[in-house]
Structure 1
Amino acid sequence: MSSSDFRQIAIRTESGKAERLFRAAVSAFCSLTRPSRREIGQLEDLTLPLFDDVSVESRRYVAAALSECEYAPAALVRRLCEEPVDIAAPLLIRSRAVSDIDLIALIGRHGLPHARAIARRKDLNPTIADLIRVLERPTLVRVRDPEVSAPTKPAAAPVNAQAAEDSATRQQAPGIAAENARRRLRSMMRTGDEALAARVDAFPGSDTYVKLRETALTGNAAFFQTALADALDIDFSTARSLTANQSYSSLLAALRSLDLSEDRAFLITVAIYPSLFPHPQAIRTYLDRYRLLHRDVALDKVRVWKAETVSRMVRDASSANRDGRKASNSDDVAPLLRASSRK
């Protein structure tokens, strides 16, 4: 599809009829067997400026059409996915242009309506599927205290026991239920590691990734900084400085040096810096920066951090030696001073 094709579409439509142009352009694009990058870019350049001027029916039509399109333009698909679920559902269920990172972000912004549509995707990432199940029934996810759950009366019939458990669950405070949901999610992510390794993008460094991910999800900065120090072979103070900044630049370089995939790196980063990703553009910026950062450059930065670690260790050892020598000299001089005073 060339620029002249788009002009012909515009000519055939009446002046100011954004609806017909919007639909016609997408229909023509979907008829292409294998569109080029240039044609994909042209469609985005044409349709995105018209997006706010078209009706809900046109958006719903385009979403349905692009959901079956193998090479759908990513920017237009993301824009449609931000619409209410009655428009976005076909893309959430079928589109290949929506990545796992996009799905997680959509669930975070739109909650259960989008999550329920995403749950219908074929070959859905097991971790995302588990997250959706937690969101569906958060009050049924709880960690039982063995002391509290010890029976004080003879066990009743199984049906009555189940009813009592459900009643106790419904009476949980919302904060406790939410914390139990987070614990349950972390537990499911741990138990799902083998499935993820087999079905997603397993690689030899997965153990390092799992440690970083799990410690990041605890919300305890010290846990994550310790895992990061172990992964990079640096000291704790250096690792702490990497996440103490207002920017994620240092952490991005650290994760790139470990050769993590961009979706894994983003999951860790958003857990450490959640406030830096309030909208899709911030996510796209991060992914672009991560892709453009060459791993050799990131490794050079890690070497500098390691050199600083060694230098700090040498300074500390030298300082300790000086203090030791001073103490030793003081011990040697003291008897002489006492002898001279007696004389």
Structure 2
Amino acid sequence: MSSSDFRHIAIRTEAGKAERLFRAAVSAFCSLTRPSRREIAQLEDLTLPLFDEVSVESRRYVAAALSECEYAPAALVRRLAEEPVEIAAPLLTRSNALSDIDLIALIGRHGLPHARAIARRKELNATIAHLIRALEKPTLVNTRPPETVTKIAPVKPAASATEDNRPDPGVPEENARRRLRSMMRPAGESAAVNLFLGQPTYLKLRETALTGNLAFFQTALADALDIDFATARSITEQSGYAALLAALKALDLSEDRAFLIAVAVHPGEFPHPQAIRLFLDRYRLLHREAALDKVRAWKAETLSRAIRGNAIETGRHASNSDDKAAGRKAS
């Protein structure tokens, strides 16, 4: 197909009839036995600017047509695959233009509706198939049953009336973590049942990341790395995913598992396949020992904060004691 053919279509369908132009261009392209790279690029140049102007019916028609096309334009296919599953289903189930990385990204961004359509693909990558099964029926994943943890409050000696009632450093954060864990248990049970206890680390991280509640994931990450909640929160609330990448590498997660968690926590960081490929390259090139060094640095910073906090508290108590002694002498 030459550029003159596209111009001929445009002339016949001008006067703002984007619908007919969109359909006609794709239909003409699909009739080609073996389109050249130039013809593929021409179709993308013609259809992508019209994409937002055409109706749902036209998008559905084009998605169905391109799903049977062996040399479908990758950029147009990816754009259509981001549509609701009612439109994208033919491409998700059949198109060869979608790579495994594309499929994982689509599952991460659109969840079960897209995942179920992708599951119908022939010769689907086994890792992706397992991921879809785990997302659809988490109970089928072989894990130990949740453990029941009964919390007994420790008996503390009665505090003197003159003692300062300020909480110890780190106590508010730990209380917040306990409250988050209590939110994960079924209502009406007297014992604290943590639904994530007894599960492997990855499953805890994945399930909490997919809840959409970042605090749940931060709590699971703090437990996995043995760091405090404030540090886990800072890892996930940074503008990029560099710190999270190091945390996941330190846990020795595979690339696909690390990516699924990253895209659930930072979906805006992966707007196109190139961003996904960059993440995978960075994850692959990061040495685990370097990631472990990063975790050690986080733990050292946590310890340093605790020491500084204790020093401040000690200074306050000493100052209060001096003030009281001075008051007694004055009286």
**TM-score of the superposition, structure 2-length normalised?**
0.54
Of Structure 1 and Structure 2, the greater helix share is in: 1
- Give the equivalent residue in structure 2 for 1:116: 117
Aligned residue in 1 for 2:203: 210
The residue that corresponds to 2:215 in the other structure is 222
Query: What SS class does the counterpart of residue 125 from structure 1 fall into?
Result: helix
Cα distance in 1, alignment partners of residues 108 and 225 from structure 2:
32
Using a 3 Å threshold, how does the CA distance of structure 1 residues 254 and 121 change in structure 2: closer, same or farther?
same
Alignment of 1:131-142 (within 5 A): none
CA shift in 2, pair 1:268/1:114, >3 Å: closer
Distance apart, 1:127 and its partner CA: 4.3
Give the one of 286, 309, 328 matched to 1:335. Answer: 328
Distance 1:114 1:212 in 2: 19
Shifted more, 275-284 versus 248-257: the winner is 275-284
- Aligned partners of 1:225, 1:114: CA distance in 2, in Å? 25
In structure 2, the partner of 1:7 is: none
Q: Compared with structure 1, are the counterparts of its residues 326 and 85 closer, same or farther at alpha carbon in structure 2 (3 Å cutoff)?
A: closer
Letter in 2 for 1:192: L
The answer as to 2:270 corresponding to 1:322 is no
Mapped pair 1:128 → 2:129: no
Query: What are the ranges of 5 or more consecutive residues in structure 2 without an aligned counterpart?
Result: 6-28, 47-61, 81-87, 144-197
Indicate yes or no: 2:100 matched with 1:99. Answer: yes
Tell me the amino acid that sits aligned with residue 310 of structure 1. Answer: L
Is the contact made by 1:82 and 1:106 (CA closer than 8 Å) also made in structure 2? no
Equivalent residue in structure 2 for 1:313, among 290, 306, 312:
306
State the match for 2:279 in structure 1: 286
CA–CA distance in structure 1, aligned partners of residues 283 and 110 of structure 2: 23
CA shift for structure 1 position 319: 0.9
Distance 1:51 1:302, change over 3 A: farther
**Residue 249 of structure 1 aligns with which residue?**
242
Mark the CA change 1:317 to 1:87 in structure 2 (over 3 Å): closer, same or farther: closer
Contact kept, 8 Å, 2:106 with 2:114, in 1: the verdict is no
Q: Which amino acid aligns with 1:248?
A: Y
Change (3 A) 1:289 1:47: farther
CA offsets 1:19-60 (integer angstroms, 9 cap, x no match): 9xx96799xxxxxxxxxxxxxxxxxx9997687499x98984
- The aligned residue for residue 262 of structure 1 is 255
RMSD, matched Cα: 4.3
Partner residue, 2:24:
none
Question: Does the CA contact (< 8 Å) of 1:89 and 1:114 recur in 2?
Answer: no
The residue type equivalent to 1:62 in the other structure is: E
Q: How is 1:289-308 mapped onto 2 (pairs within 5 angstroms)?
A: 289-308=282-301
1:193 equivalenced with 2:141 (yes/no): yes
Give yes or no for contact 1:234–1:309 (8 Å, CA) kept in 2. Answer: yes
The 2-side partners of 1:207 and 1:236 are apart by: 20
Secondary structure of 1:322's partner?
helix
Q: Distance in 1 between matches of 2:76 and 2:279?
A: 18
Contact conserved, 2:107 with 2:115, CA < 8 A, in 1?
A: yes
Return the offset for 1:313: 0.7
Q: Distance in 1 between matches of 2:120 and 2:66?
A: 25
State the distance in 1 between where 2:324 and 2:130 align: 67
Contact 1:211 1:227 in 2 (8 A): yes
> What do the CA deviations read for 1:121-170 (whole angstroms, capped 9, x no partner)?
45562441475xxxxxxxxxxxxxxxxxxxxxxxxxxxxxxxxxxxxxxx
Q: Is the 8 Å Cα contact of residues 242 and 251 (structure 1) preserved in structure 2?
A: yes
Say if 1:258 and 1:327 are closer, same or farther in 2 by CA, change over 3 A: same
1:277-298 alpha-carbon deviations (Å, 9 max, x no partner): 2222222222122112221221
**Which structure has more RCO (C-alpha within 8 Å, separation ≥ 6)?**
2
C-alpha spacing 1:311/1:86, structure 2 compared with 1 (3 Å): closer
The runs of 5 or more residues in structure 1 that have no matched partner are 1-13, 27-44, 65-75, 132-184, 196-204, 339-343
Letter in 1 for 2:309: D
State the distance in 1 between where 2:106 and 2:266 align. Answer: 14
Identity of aligned residues (%): 41
- Deviation at residue 219 of structure 1 after TM alignment: 2.0
**Displacement of 1:211:** 1.5
Q: Which residue of 1 aligns with 2:264?
A: 271
